[in-house]
Amino acid sequence: MDLCTKHWCARHRRRRRAHGQATRHRLLLLAVSHRVPDELYPAAHQGAGHARLGHRPPRPAQARVPAPTRPASAVAREQADGQREQADGPAGGILDVSGTRADAGATSDAARQEVDPLALESQVCFAITRASRGIVAAYRPVLEPLHLTHPQYLVMLALWQESPLSLKELSSRLALDPGTLSPLVKRLESTGYLERTRASEDERSLAIVLTDTGRALRERAQAVPGIMRERLGMDEDDVQALHAGMMKVVELAARSEQGGPAEI
């Protein structure tokens, strides 16, 4: 082999060696950047290449073990038990509410203690006053065709039940003082429903008696109770129960008046 041939062969070997090193280095860089799988470049250069670049060799992928499956009957049984506990309470279907009741009772007692005893909306007298005003207002459009106010209607009711009556007797039945009752009697007299005459037993006292117009008015007034029940949305039993309760209040109030002044 001449000198030229030896020189060409040596240069060709150097080129192949350099090309192989460049190829291995390029594959190593691609593998580190996860662009080429590990199996595409020689295993002998993997550890050394990663060590030179400051990376650990990649770990082999571990297969994921699937979670054990439970029988469908067991899952359905647990769901049913959970729903039963929510509906019936703790074990055995017995709900212990003693503590809950005690807590609720303590809360209600504390709430009652915090109520202002002078709160307007909690006063019985205010409720009765509002009810009285509301009833009088409800009677107004019903009594207007009869040309009566509610106090005059009460006077006529007493006289329709018994006539004649003295001013004192009428005052006692209506629980009105004579000073309040006298203007009502005079107004009804001017309307023509009643008149005042001297009592046959005692000429010094006046008797209040109905006129023919006042007695005839009773026929028209018989429709008033039914109209009021309809307007208030109450039946006969409701009216009787309400009347009994109000009469109980009247009785208690009269008994309270006999107790004298209170010490506060």
Give the CATH number of the domain where residue 202 resides.
1.10.10.10
CB atoms inside a 10 Å sphere around CB 217: 19
Same domain, yes or no, for 48 and 131?
no
pLDDT score recorded for residue 259 = 78
**Tokens at residue 45, please?**
């250069």
**Is 96 inside any structural domain?**
no
Spans of the chain, pLDDT less than 70: 1-9, 11-12, 18-77, 80-113, 200-204
**Spatial strand order in the sheet of 206-210:** 165-166, 206-210, 194-198
The H-or-E segment that residue 220 falls in is helix 212-221
pLDDT score recorded for residue 205 = 75
Q: What's the total number of domains in the chain?
A: 2
pLDDT score recorded for residue 67 = 55
CB atoms inside a 10 Å sphere around CB 215: 15
Can you give the residue range of the structural domain that contains 145? 125-222
**pTM for the whole thing?**
0.56
Same domain, yes or no, for 45 and 132?
no
CA-CA distances (angstroms) from residue 44 to 39, 48, 56, 243?
11, 8, 15, 110
**Is 93 inside any structural domain?**
no
Same domain, yes or no, for 49 and 133?
no
Same domain, yes or no, for 44 and 133?
no
